[in-house]
Amino acid sequence: MRREHLAGLTSPLTNLDMHVQSVQLERNGEIEEGVLADTSREHVVPIRGFIPRFVSNASYTGSFGEQWNRYREIQIDSENKLHLSAERFYRWTGWRKEELRGLRILEAGCGAGRFTQVMLDAGATVYSLDMSSAVDACWRTNGPSDRLCVMQADIYHIPCRRQFFDRVFCYGVLQHTPDPRRAFMSLVPFLRPGGKIAVDCYLKLPYLTRWTSKFLWRWLTTRLPPSALFKAIEWYIPKWLPIDTRLAAVPRIGHRLVGIVPCWNYTGMFPLSPDQITQWAILDTFDALTPKYDYPQTMADVSSWFHDAGLEHVQVEFGSNGISGTATKP
């Protein structure tokens, strides 16, 4: 991290400003190893691998660290040259690239940094957090940068200054927290008046589809060691993909048949090569089967969050991961 990013950090325990207490290793203005502390020195935070670690373990998010460090490059636009992350970001946030230059953005849940990269490319300064070790993948994707501060932190205890950010962005996260509504509400205080927020979450569906088949299996897969499940998925997905593709083409019932065996098959949906289809299927099937929490929402649920938070210009629609929502803070 860089010293200038301290302007946006506070202790979530004491609400006091953070400062650099000691530095063991610093490179080109980036503190690689050191210690942060609040002004009372009651809250001490280690910096390891350029990242302040406000949490000591990944808790319920451990599987995300497993997947993003193992498959870091798969969904990164600069690696796959497909621009799918940028297209999704701008389509569903409704934000324009040119308006983000110079803005401060809080990203809650960075994963490997696919959207972090989009915001940095637009010229924004990004404070990006994740509770899992995915922060290390995000740093490898996007660091070092004088406009990036990556933090390992809890969405319920965000170590940032309130009303500090022009934008708050949270995709692919809320449904994987113990309480999605509370997680959403925890984001709003960090947005300045007039600032904009964009989130998405899974859509609750009452019937079996490819995307809901995971619930037939999660009673088992969430109990398995993530590394063991990864090996199983890496073994069966390449063999099952051709069968799954043929099942999907069966008239009238194909969309039900593919709901039997979990397989996130994007054939025909995105301009992916055969190898990319396989890699994305492995990654997203693992992503569906391993998280401890998976709470899809209804449109009414998500709309109520925005209105209960007192936000304006609320727009909630089907899209992105299932439901996307944007609003402005009065």
Assess if residue 183 is contained within a domain: yes
Same domain, 237 and 199: no
Same domain, 276 and 155: no
**pLDDT for 208:** 85
Same domain, 303 and 234: no
**pLDDT for 207:** 86
Q: Is the pLDDT of residue 10 over 90?
A: yes
For residues 202 and 297, the answer to whether their CB atoms sit within 8 Å is: yes
Same domain, 322 and 179: yes
Same domain, 279 and 308: no
Average pLDDT score over the chain: 96
Assess if residue 27 is contained within a domain: no
Q: What do you get for the CA distance between the two ends of the chain, in Å? A: 32
Give residue 94's domain range: 54-203+297-328
The Cβ-side half-sphere exposure at 142, using a 13 Å CA radius, reads: 34
Please give the single-letter amino acid code of residue 41.
Answer: R
Show the tokens assigned to 190: 């960090």
pTM: 0.96
Assess if residue 16 is contained within a domain: no
Same domain, 246 and 189: no
Q: Is the pLDDT of residue 175 over 90?
A: yes
Same domain, 157 and 256: no
Q: Is the pLDDT of residue 133 over 90?
A: yes
Same domain, 262 and 311: no
* Average of per-residue pLDDT across 202-207: 93
Quote the number of domains for the chain: 2
Assess if residue 323 is contained within a domain: yes
Assess if residue 82 is contained within a domain: yes
Kindly report the CATH number assigned to the domain that includes residue 126.
3.40.50.150
pLDDT in tens, 70-98: 999 999 999 999 999 999 999 999 999 99
* Average of per-residue pLDDT across 10-29: 96
Q: What percent of the chain has pLDDT over 90?
A: 95
SS3 65: helix
**pLDDT for 187:** 98
Assess if residue 43 is contained within a domain: no
Assess if residue 10 is contained within a domain: no
Same domain, 172 and 320: yes
Same domain, 232 and 177: no
Show the tokens assigned to 98: 């040119």
Same domain, 162 and 260: no
* Average of per-residue pLDDT across 253-279: 93
Continuous H helices in the chain: 62-70, 77-80, 84-93, 97-100, 114-121, 134-142, 180-187, 214-221, 226-248, 254-257, 274-289, 299-308
Same domain, 190 and 244: no
Assess if residue 90 is contained within a domain: yes
What's the angle, vertex CA 121, arms to CA 116 and CA 126, rounded to 5?
Answer: 40
